[in-house]
Structure 1
């Protein structure tokens, strides 16, 4: 509280409205991988789309 007062009432961090991830990583068992790719393929994406490795 003393540091806050010495800084003139300013906080030492920026406030954010929300945090959004830039990408997601999904891990599934091989038995359901085809179904997972199909489900993810139906989602709206802004990146490169689903990939299988």
Structure 2
């Protein structure tokens, strides 16, 4: 509280409205990989859709 008062009530960090990941990685077992691709197939992506490697 003392430090806050000495700084004149200013924050010493930048506030963010939200954090959003730039991408997600989904890791599944080989046995369910085709089902996982089918389930996420309807999601919107910016790089052309889900891929299986």
TM-score between both structures, scaled by the size of structure 1: 0.77
Q: What TM-score do you get using the length of structure 2 for normalisation?
A: 0.77
Segments of structure 1 that go 5 or more residues without pairing to the other structure are none
Cα distance between partner residues in 1 of 2:23 and 2:41: 15
How many corresponding residue pairs? 53
Query: Residues 8-19 of structure 1 correspond to what in structure 2 (within 5 A)?
Result: 8-19=8-19
RMSD: 1.5
Residue 43 of structure 1: CA displacement? 0.6
Please give the per-residue CA displacement for 1:1-53, whole angstroms capped at 9, x wherever unaligned. Answer: 22111111101112222211111111111111011112222111123532222
Instruction: Flag as ranges the 4+ runs of structure 1 deviating above 4 A.
Output: none
1:34 equivalent to 2:37? Answer: no
| Distance of 2:19 and 2:47 partners within structure 1 | 18
